[in-house]
Amino acid sequence: MPALLDTTPEWKEAVAAWRGVPTAPRRLPQPFQGFQVLQNRVLERVFGTSHWVMPGLWFLPIIGLCLWDGLQRDGLTASVTVGCVLGGILTWTLVEYVLHRWLFHLPPMKNPALREIQYMMHGYHHDFPDDPGRLVAPPILSWPLALVVGLLHWVALGELWTLVFAGTLIGYLAYDWMHYYTHHAVPKTRMGRFMRRFHLEHHYRTAHSQFGLSSPLWDLVFGSFWTTRAFQHKRGPASSEGGQD
């Protein structure tokens, strides 16, 4: 009888074969749905995959509680309250960028357990970028991250921590939903088309650029934003396998 958290043979084979996020990805035939990770189908559905609406069901009540708690604090002006929330949103955009650029794209670890965590965090997504069940982070990833980030806010920010944490969670939801949008929506606005192209260039032109998900802000700050002209200069004319609209 398999253990509760045993993974499937397909998952084990993919982790063993993984050589890291490709630096010059090309569009190749890929199974749209990916594959099952946990052998236990109930745990797979509850913790291993996530519909795009689910992060809102988990985190919007927490955001509401944090805002309510922050608004009960005596002596906080409206400008401080708004500033804390906006600061939390800005903090998330930086965390998102740093994690994506300098953690998720590390070469595969030799330690099998660490290698499997790497593949779970990001390698799988580059192998199956359009798998709709894992475009927003499933609970097995998002809940531990939220707990760690919440504890850090509590330790570092004193009585302001709930307001900043509310902003951080708002930024996280924007990140998750923008990620799903860029892979599966058909944008009607100029901004929507820009964000979709911006992210898909990371997948289908080069993984060395366009690390932001909710905005290109930190790519501009850290010099990893490449325009179409920059792609052509650094990599030659775009091939027929380049980014999609």
Task: Encode pLDDT of 83-138 as tens digits.
Answer: 999 999 999 999 999 999 999 999 999 999 999 999 988 999 998 888 888 888 87
For the cut 90, the answer to whether the pLDDT of residue 245 exceeds it is: no
Q: Considering its fold, how many domains does the chain have in total?
A: 1
Q: Where are the alpha helices (DSSP H) in 72-121?
A: 78-102, 112-118
pLDDT value for 206: 86
Mean pLDDT confidence for 9-27: 84
Distances (CA, A) of 88 to 73, 83, 149, 169: 18, 8, 11, 8
Please indicate, yes or no, if residue 6 is contained in any of the structural domains: no
pTM of the model: 0.83
Residue 10 located in a structural domain: no
- pLDDT score of 65 more than 80: yes
Report, as an integer, the average pLDDT of 210-221.
Answer: 94
Cα–Cα distance for residue pair 140/53, rounded to 1 Å: 16
pLDDT tens by residue, 171-202: 999 999 999 999 988 999 999 999 999 999 99
The yes-or-no verdict on residue 26 having pLDDT over 80 is: no
Average pLDDT over residues 12-22: 91
In a domain, 24, yes or no: no
- How big is the CA angle at 74 (ends 70 and 79), to the nearest 5 degrees? 65
* Tens of pLDDT, residues 144-160: 889 999 999 999 999 99
Instruction: Reply yes or no on whether the pLDDT at 31 is more than 50.
Output: yes
- 151 in a domain, yes or no? yes
Domain-embedded: residue 14: no
Asked whether residue 98 is assigned to any structural domain, the reply reads yes
- Residue 150, classed as helix, strand or coil, is helix
229 in a domain, yes or no? yes
Please give the residue range of the domain that contains residue 213: 52-235
Residue 127 resides in a domain: yes
* pLDDT of 221 strictly over 70: yes
Per-residue confidence at 235, pLDDT binned at 50, 70, 90? very low
